[in-house]
Amino acid sequence: MKRLVTIVTALAALALAGTAAAAPGLRLDRQAISAKQCSGNGSSLLVNVTYGLTNDYDSGFAGNAWANDTIGRHLQIWQAPDGTYCAAVSDVGAFVTFAGPSPSGLSTVSAGVFGVLNGGYVTTRFTGTFAPSLRTHGFLGVFDLQCTSAYTCPGAHPSYLSYFSSTSGDDLAHWGWIYYAGRHGTWLNQDDVSAAGGGDITG
């Protein structure tokens, strides 16, 4: 199972190496989604885990599932001296497209286009009751999301919420992912980027 995470990590590293050539005008705001947004000011690292996700259907601006993702995820949860929490997720992975609307919703893409992705998110600082039901360090395994559409994924999988019995005020502060598909294009899906400004994957 760890082999899956190793493979997608290697693919994403390859994509990053070619970023400048593949997408000269598109840049993921890595600082905004960095774990450093959570870890400063004397915060303590409570959770530091990795796991894999398969059959994760990716939604585009048209609301459709435009690709099937396989992801290696790194999840960290920090507690600040004032007792609040902050979670950070870093993803690397690979995808293969479905035929239909392109991710921007402004064109179309055929089935079987392969590419790689990376990105993640950080939460707002929130309050909660820390009550982990999973191990807090190491590799958790690979989880099949069993998606049947962009928004129907019944497969159980971990998230930062798995480590709390209750939370209040938690939301995503910043998020973003970038997708590379060679000659088929690059798509940036980020919280401050519009459909028209994020490129596209087509063909």
Convert the pLDDT of each residue in 148-177 to its tens digit.
999 999 999 999 999 999 999 999 999 999
Rounded mean pLDDT of 77-92? 97
pTM above 0.85, yes or no: yes
Helical H runs in the chain? 2-17, 19-22, 36-39
Using alpha carbons, select from 71, 51, 52, 62 the residue that is nearest to residue 98. Answer: 62
Closest to 59 in 3D by CA, of 28, 93, 105, 94: 105
pLDDT digit string, tens, across residues 35-59? 999 998 899 999 999 999 999 999 9
Determine contact, residues 92/12, Cβ cutoff 8 Å: yes
Gap between the Cα atoms of 181 and 33, Å rounded: 22
- Report residue 190's pLDDT band, with 50, 70 and 90 as the boundaries: very high
* Residue 122 near residue 34, CB atoms below 8 Å: yes
Q: Is the pLDDT of residue 133 over 80?
A: yes
